[in-house]
Every structure is written in C-alpha cells, then in structure tokens.
Chains A and B, each alone.
Chain A
Amino acid sequence: MSEPILRLEGVETRIGPYHILHGVSFDVPAGELTLLLGRNGAGKTTTLRTIMGLWRASAGRVLFDGRDITALPTPDIARAGLAYVPESMAVFSDLTVRENMVLAARSGPLDSARLDWIFGLFPALRRFWQSRAGVLSGGQKQMLAIARGLAEPRRLLLVDEPTKGLAPAMVRNMVEAFRQVKAAGETILLVEQNFHAASALGDDVAVMDNGTVVHSGPMRALAADAALQQSLLGLSLDQHQ
C-alpha cells in the first residue's frame, strides 16, 4: 500500500442550481492505476473537472501530495503536476498535431526520446505529425489527447473515458497503450466504462453512483465478484457503447 498522491475528502460540487457531487471521497495511490467507475451520469466527469478546478468544490477538500489544491486556479493545479485528458478530448483542431504537443510540453522543447516512446504507443501520431488536428479521426484525436498528457513527465494523469466510441480493435490497442504507460511508472486516475478493459488495467477502483463513491477497494476483488459488479454497476455497462 503506497501513499496516496491524490485524496478527495467529502468533495461537493454544484453546477448552477444543481447539486451534482454529494461528498466524494477516495484515494489515488502513487504509482498505480486507479479506476473510477459508475453509471452514466454518476458524476465521474464532474469529479475530474472538480479536481482540475474547472468546477469549484463547494465543500470538501482535494489534497495533492498532502497539499490542499481545492481553491487553486486551474493553471496552478496543472503546474502542480496534474495532466488532464477530458472526455471531449479538446484537441486544438486549428493547430497541427505537432503544435498540440508543443503546447502540452510546457517547460520547453519536446524530448525526442519521450516522443519516440509516444509514437510507439500511438503510431498514427507520427504519420499525421504535421496535419491539422481537426482532420484526425475520433480515435486519433483521442490518441493525441492522451499523448498531450504524456508529453512531459507529470505526477498524475487524469483520463476521462479514452475508449469511448472506439472500435473493439482500437480498444485493445488503447488498453495495451495504458498498460505500457503504467509500466513506465505513471500514476493514473482513469474513468472507463468498458469493464473488460478496465479490469485488465486497474489496481484499485472507486465506484460512483448519484454523486458519491459507493464502493472502493482493489480491482481484483471487484473483478472476481460478479454479484457485486451487478449491484454496483447494473445494466450501465451493457448499455454503454
């Protein structure tokens, strides 16, 4: 059991008049891959956005490495060492793949050894290096969005549903890519609806429902317990595409 690098304590988030998160608490241990699961609308994306300061927590705390980052502006949270791959991918479509990567490498020129490693994970990026990101397919945009998160070493990578809308073969490639990223020692908090993909990757898991965490523990235990899966995740996994 390693030290948590990220800890959420009773985080509540309101968006306008809606009370979305009702006290979310869980830990992300350093050097591991933690999964955040839950039905559609459970509050997973809202949780990641709150961690990044894109929504403001109205109660509770977000601790990163023991430091309270709840009230920091988003750029400062990123500079503390978090990288965020949003559900919408948010690649800059007017910029080329290269330019997207240049911006992601905040502290200076891209490191060519690291870039080779990224090209190894996502060969399509090498092929479209000088193309506008807007012309990429959905899957390729997803690769670019993740590659941006990997452009420089970060302390923690937040990734929101990287396999969304991908063909089965692409999902396998994506799982393999995450396996390699994990092997490289990165700490990851991953939202993933594809339970099969998720269970192959996760060390730990937190399951959300209705804006709170309803279960957390080792992935292995959840993967082995079909009844628990059924009660926590119900039909949502089959429904989700």
Chain B
Amino acid sequence: MTDLGATTPASLPAPRRDWAALLLCPVLMAAALPLVGSASSWVTLTAAGLAMGMMIFLMASGLTLVFGLMDVINFGHGVFISIGAYAMLLVLGPLAGWAEADSLPLNLALLAVCIVVAMAVTAALGLVFERVIIRPVYRSHLKQILVTMGGMIVAEQAIHVVWGASPVAIRLPEAFRGAIVIGDAAVERYRVVAVAIGLVVFAGMSLVLNRTRLGLLIRAGVENPEMVEALGYRIRRLFVGVFVAGSALAGLGGVMWGFYRQTLTAGMGMEVMVLVFIVIIIGGLGSVGGCFVGSLLVALVANYVGFLAPKLALVSNILVMALVLAWRPQGLFPVARR
C-alpha cells in the first residue's frame, strides 16, 4: 500500500474504537463463569460456543458482504454451505487412508484438501449463480428473495440427484477425534481446529479489507457504489469477485460444519440460514467485524443458556437479537450508507 512516511504527521488522535461492542463477548464470558459455577463446565461451554461461533462466522461472512456491497438478498447462500460439505465427498473417498492414518500432518493435509476442493467447487458455482440467477434481479428485493429461494430448491434437488437423498455419514480425521483434557475440563479437539480456522479467516479478511486497495474499494462500495464508479472503478467486477469469494467462504463453512455434524444432508445449509441471518443483522449488515462479534455472541449465549436454562435455549437467539437491536437498531457495527 501507499507509504506516505514524511507527509504523515506524527501527532494524530488514533481512530476511536467502539469498545462497548468489542467487549461484549469478553464481558459475557466473564459474567457466565459465576453463573455456570464450575470452571470445568465453563471451559467446555465456552470452547463449544467459540467453535460454534467461528463456524457460523465462516458461513455468514460472505453473505454480509454481498448484501452490503450490492444490496442483494441471497437466500440461496445456504445451498453453498451444503454443496461445500458434499464436495468433501470427492476427496474423502479417494483419500480415506489419510483420514484413518494416525498422523496429524496427514490429517491436516486431508482437511486442507477438503477445504480447497470445496471452496473451488462453491466458487465456480457462485460464478454461475451470480450470472444466471442474481444478475437479472438487481434492485428488486422481492424478486431476489423469490428467485434465490428457487435457485436454492433446484440446487438442493441437484444434490439429491448427484449424491442421493439419504443422509451421508462422514468420519472425522483421526487426530481431530476425542477431547483434550485440561484439569477437569474436556475440550473437543475438533473445536480447537474450528476456532483456529475461524481466526485465520477473520484475520485474513480483516487484513484484506483494511490494508489493501481491493478491501478499501469493497468498504467504499458498501457505502456508496456510485461514487466508487465515478472514481473510475468497475463496481460490477468487484461485486462478482465478492460474490464468488462469499460463496467460497460458505463452502469452507460447509466443510467445517459438515465435519462437526458428521452427517451431511442437502438441507444442512438451509437449516443454519436463520442463524446466519440473525448474526448478520446483529452485526450490522455489511460489516465483517460485526458478523464476527455477532456470531460469537449468539453461539456463546446459546451454549450458556442451554446449560443454565435449557427451556430458554430455543429462543435465546431471538432474544439476543431483540436486545442488541433495542440497544443499536442498526446492529453492533452499523455501516454508513448513502
């Protein structure tokens, strides 16, 4: 990026951070400890919440950008999650030996290959979906909802045709099975993997959005696409790129989610879409940071509430959303728009 060394004055106020929203999850975690009572249960619940949150983030992050940048509501996003998960089967069959091998490097390599294949398949599909389904319905939300829903139904049926209608069981690679025991607390290994991958993706997206010209263009385009064009940038290309990347991220989310459930169904993506929409609304439409915080918040609350007051578990997501929107009607990190 541009280095402006000498011309940049030294004594500038740093940009203000929104501490209240950033501290939400840490405060929630701290507050849950006395409520849960036992440290070991707290560790298990927190790890489960963080892992769940990271997976939701992976599945939701692409959608929030697509909505923010081009004002397109894509109900078909869930199908990329399912297809990402099913795309693993292309790999898991031929490389079954890698999954059973008692070798962390080989298991990790398998996960990496699954991710690469799933992302490639969903990216290619995203390119087609954008061209055929989204492009004709710009600027009409109602048509977008109907048409992307239709696209989703067709794609789900296509999964049935290609891979069969019955659920498919898959096995986690050897090294990711079981739990790590720390004192009294048990943390499932796979959850550690999910958290690590979620953090890497979040860091990567933050880096691109904040430190590259491409990222600046995306953020500027979310706020004012017309001005981005008047500066001489072709926003259509930018949007296609973001749509493809968002689809690939959904595919990555599908891999992580599929391994977590260890059962694949054509509707698995659609099942999480309610949660996905809740977190992008909580986070502030178009905000990747908000999507990250929102995902963790929803997942942590779900886990704590599930333990403390199981009867409330079903409504906890909606409650979190209602509370956040009462506090900040535009979401945690509202994105400026025209």
What distance in Å separates the Cβ of A48 from its nearest Cβ neighbour in chain B?
10
Q: How many angstroms from the CA of A112 to the CA of B4 in the assembled complex?
A: 7
Q: How does the 8 Å CB contact mask read for A134-145 relative to B, with 1 for contact and 0 for none?
A: 100000000000
Query: Is A235 part of the contact surface with B, judged by Cβ < 8 Å?
Result: no
A125-180, CB < 8 A from B? 126-132, 134, 148
Q: Are A94 and B335 in contact (CB under 8 A)?
A: yes
What distance in Å separates the Cβ of A62 from its nearest Cβ neighbour in chain B?
15
Query: Is A95 part of the contact surface with B, judged by Cβ < 8 Å?
Result: yes
**Known: A90-B224, A103-B220, A130-B8. Is A96-B230 also a contact (CB below 8 A)?**
no
Q: How many angstroms from the CA of A126 to the CA of B233 in the assembled complex?
A: 26
B1-60, CB < 8 A from A? 1-4, 6-9, 12-15
Query: Is B229 part of the contact surface with A, judged by Cβ < 8 Å?
Result: yes
Q: Are A103 and B217 in contact (CB under 8 A)?
A: yes
Binds B, one of A33-41, A70-78, A205-213: A70-78
| Number of inter-chain CB pairs below 8 Å | 93
Q: How does the 8 Å CB contact mask read for A43-78 relative to B, with 1 for contact and 0 for none?
A: 000000000101000000000000000000111001
| B12 proximity list for chain A (CB < 8 A) | 127-131
A96, A102, A128, A132 interface centre (most CB from chain B within 10 Å)? A102
Q: How many angstroms from the CA of A215 to the CA of B226 in the assembled complex?
A: 31
Q: Are A112 and B233 in contact (CB under 8 A)?
A: no
What distance in Å separates the Cβ of A81 from its nearest Cβ neighbour in chain B?
10
| A84 proximity list for chain B (CB < 8 A) | 230
Contact of A86 among B2, B15, B230, B233 (CB under 8 A): B230
Query: Is A119 part of the contact surface with B, judged by Cβ < 8 Å?
Result: yes
Contact of B223 among A75, A93, A96, A131 (CB under 8 A): A93
| B6 proximity list for chain A (CB < 8 A) | 112
Q: Are B1 and A102 in contact (CB under 8 A)?
A: yes
Interface residue total, chain A, C-beta cutoff 8 A = 37
Q: How many angstroms from the CA of A215 to the CA of B89 in the assembled complex?
A: 73
Q: Are B3 and A78 in contact (CB under 8 A)?
A: no
Q: Are A75 and B15 in contact (CB under 8 A)?
A: no
**Known: A112-B4, A116-B7. Is A94-B223 also a contact (CB below 8 A)?**
yes
Q: Are B7 and A104 in contact (CB under 8 A)?
A: no
What distance in Å separates the Cβ of B221 from its nearest Cβ neighbour in chain A?
9
| A99 proximity list for chain B (CB < 8 A) | 216
Q: How many angstroms from the CA of A73 to the CA of B228 in the assembled complex?
A: 13
What distance in Å separates the Cβ of A22 from its nearest Cβ neighbour in chain B?
24
Q: How many angstroms from the CA of A143 to the CA of B167 in the assembled complex?
A: 61
Query: Is A109 part of the contact surface with B, judged by Cβ < 8 Å?
Result: yes
Q: How does the 8 Å CB contact mask read for B293-335 relative to A, with 1 for contact and 0 for none?
A: 0000000000000000000000000000000000000000001
| A73 proximity list for chain B (CB < 8 A) | 229, 234
Query: Is B231 part of the contact surface with A, judged by Cβ < 8 Å?
Result: yes
Contact of A93 among B3, B4, B230, B336 (CB under 8 A): B336
**Known: A130-B12, A132-B15. Is A90-B217 also a contact (CB below 8 A)?**
no
Q: Are B2 and A110 in contact (CB under 8 A)?
A: yes
| B213 proximity list for chain A (CB < 8 A) | 102-103
Across the two chains, which residue of chain A brings its CB closest to B234?
Answer: A75
Query: Is B227 part of the contact surface with A, judged by Cβ < 8 Å?
Result: yes
| A93 proximity list for chain B (CB < 8 A) | 223, 336
| B232 proximity list for chain A (CB < 8 A) | 75, 78-79, 106
Query: Is A98 part of the contact surface with B, judged by Cβ < 8 Å?
Result: yes
Across the two chains, which residue of chain B brings its CB closest to A119?
Answer: B7
Q: Are A92 and B223 in contact (CB under 8 A)?
A: yes
Q: How many angstroms from the CA of A119 to the CA of B8 in the assembled complex?
A: 11
| A134 proximity list for chain B (CB < 8 A) | 336
Contact of B216 among A79, A102, A116, A148 (CB under 8 A): A102
Q: Are A129 and B9 in contact (CB under 8 A)?
A: yes
What distance in Å separates the Cβ of B36 from its nearest Cβ neighbour in chain A?
38
Q: Are B2 and A131 in contact (CB under 8 A)?
A: no
Q: How many angstroms from the CA of A98 to the CA of B59 in the assembled complex?
A: 32
Q: How many angstroms from the CA of A52 to the CA of B15 in the assembled complex?
A: 33
Q: How many angstroms from the CA of A74 to the CA of B13 in the assembled complex?
A: 36
Query: Is B219 part of the contact surface with A, judged by Cβ < 8 Å?
Result: yes
A75, A109, A110 interface centre (most CB from chain B within 10 Å)? A75
Contact of A115 among B7, B230, B338 (CB under 8 A): B7
28 contacts between A and B (CB under 8 A): A54-B226, A54-B230, A73-B229, A75-B229, A75-B235, A86-B230, A90-B227, A90-B230, A90-B338, A92-B220, A92-B227, A93-B336, A94-B219, A98-B2, A99-B216, A102-B1, A103-B213, A103-B220, A105-B2, A106-B233, A109-B2, A110-B4, A128-B12, A129-B12, A130-B12, A130-B14, A131-B12, A148-B231
Q: Which B residues fall within an 8 A CB radius of A? A: 1-4, 6-9, 12-15, 213, 216-217, 219-220, 222-224, 226-235, 335-336, 338
